[in-house]
Amino acid sequence: MGQLLAGAPLAAKIHDEVITLVTAMKKRYGRGPVFCVAQVGDSKEASLYVEFQKKIAAKLGIECIVRTLPEMVKQEEVIAEIHALNNDASINGIILQLPLPVHLNTARIQANIAPHKDVEGIHPENLGRIILKNAGFTPCTACAVMELLQQTGVAFSGKEAVIVGHSGIVGKPLALMLLDKLSTVTVCHIGTTQAGNLEKHVRSAEILVVAVGKPNLIKGEWIKPGAIVVDVGITCIGGKVAGDVEFEAAAKRAAFITPVPGGVGPVTVAILMRNVAQAARLQCSKEKQ
Ligand code: NAD
């Protein structure tokens, strides 16, 4: 049976780092970090997630403000709201709650967030910095996966790393981050499955990261014995949350495996809070100059 790679211990460690940062900032500048979640419409799922972020933020001494815009808001109005937040010195970080209604262009709105307030790491400038290996904000989930992998003590160099899912917030940035650690990276996606090649690639993975959103897509028997398995997928079925990997069967073969829920999720939120605290500290020190 593989070792459980739970998110809680790492999240707790990051929370401690954030509390130290926030305490120092309050002492030095007389104020703590503040971030704003821009939410369009009031879907139950989005509101629940925002409440969860608010609760964690409060625990760490960070203030979370929510701006809710009506479902039928125009693209220009959302961009105007983002610009207002960019220009508001009391706001250190901006989160655009996804998904947006289909009439809005998500990428165009995200590109209007000031890069130094882009705590989710989704602005084109921050994404580009990953290729250049320059410090910037990195998408929180990709970062969470890297930090969880590091917890295992794995030597990345030369490892066969297979990522299933090629989104801009998980698969693509993670592929670049693993490449920089000299892993041999394969990225699979819907085209891989349609070509009948998913099983072959997964079977070769020494490091396997799955971010698709299809429960049980990855069969337990495909896991290479001794592999590290990180399951990013989240699907709600009948009030329960499921990942993308057949957990019980995969855990028998893997050396390490993340649970769902309780794996990548809590670390992602902790990293988001760390980004908010770092953004706030940088902005305060620039204001002081
Ligand atoms: P996305 O929805 O943008 O893209 C899905 C990816 O899966 C694409 O690359 C697509 O080609 C691939 N795919 C779809 N069907 C496939 C199949 N049958 N075989 C192989 N590949 C297939 O992805 P996303 O936004 O990165 O989200 C992926 C999952 O991760 C979702 O379940 C999401 O809820 C979850 N997620 C979790 C966290 C977290 O913190 N735990 C954060 C972000 C996303």
CATH match for 32-114 among 3.40.50.10860, 3.40.190.10, 3.50.50.60, 3.30.420.40: 3.40.50.10860
Q: Give the Å distance between the CA of 285 and the centre of ligand 1.
A: 38
Structure tokens at 112: 């209007």
For the segment 174-220, what is each residue's pLDDT rounded down to a tens digit? 999 999 999 999 999 999 999 999 999 999 999 999 999 999 999 99
Work out which ligand 1 atom sits closest to the CA atom of 269: 40
Rounded alpha-carbon distances, angstroms, from residue 149 to 79, 146, 249? 37, 5, 20
Model confidence, pTM: 0.97
CB of 161 within 8 A of CB of 206?
A: yes
Ligand 1 proximal residues by C-beta, below 6 Å: 141, 164-167, 169-171, 188-190, 192-193, 198, 211-214, 217, 232-235, 264-265, 268
Domains 32-114 and 140-265 share a fold: yes
3 state DSSP class of 229: strand
Work out which ligand 1 atom sits closest to the CA atom of 260: 41
Q: Give the Å distance between the CA of 188 and the centre of ligand 1.
A: 11
CATH class of 140-265: alpha beta
3 state DSSP class of 195: coil
Task: Ligand 1 pocket test: pick from 127, 212, 271 the residue with the most ligand atoms within 8 Å of its Cβ.
Answer: 212
Work out which ligand 1 atom sits closest to the CA atom of 263: 41
As a residue count, the chain comes to: 289
3 state DSSP class of 162: strand
For the segment 248-271, what is each residue's pLDDT rounded down to a tens digit? 999 999 999 999 999 999 999 999
How is the chain split into domains, by residue range? 32-114, 140-265
Q: Among 213, 200, 207, which Cα is nearest to 163's?
A: 207
Q: Give the Å distance between the CA of 54 and the centre of ligand 1.
A: 25
DSSP state of 116: G
Quick one: pLDDT band at residue 47, thresholds 50, 70, 90?
confident
**Number of helices (H) and strands (E), helices first, in the chain?**
11, 11
Q: Sort strands 256-257 and 228-231 into parallel, antiparallel or unpaired.
A: parallel
3 state DSSP class of 208: strand
